[in-house]
Amino acid sequence: MRPGVKITVDNKDSAPHTVTASGGKGGFDTGTIKGGATATFTAPGKPGSYPYFCDIHEYMKGKLTVRG
């Protein structure tokens, strides 16, 4: 991803999930995305590695990489 681009995530599960920046680093949080729904958020403005998790299922984790 490039800094500041819009990212759309598609929840293909039937359960609700979120994409929430870990420790607030990067400042993104989709809020609850219902099953089958999409959400859009803005990528962080600085290159780096931004871990995220699901605020509903905290064992679900991922990482967003922003390249300058």
Nearer to Cu ion (CB atom), residue 1 or residue 9: 9
Report 9-48 residues binding Cu ion (CB under 5 A): 17
Nearest to 6 by CA among 41, 50, 30, 37: 41
Among the listed ranges 21-29, 30-38, 43-51, 57-65, the one in contact with Cu ion (CB under 5 A) is: 57-65
- Residue 54 engages Cu ion in binding (rule: CB under 5 A): yes
How far is the C-alpha of 14 from the C-alpha of 11, rounded, in Å? 8
User: What is the smallest separation between the CB atom of 13 and Cu ion, expressed in angstroms?
Assistant: 8
DSSP 52: E
Q: In 3-state terms, what secondary structure has residue 35? A: coil
Size of residue set near Cu ion by CB under 5 A: 5
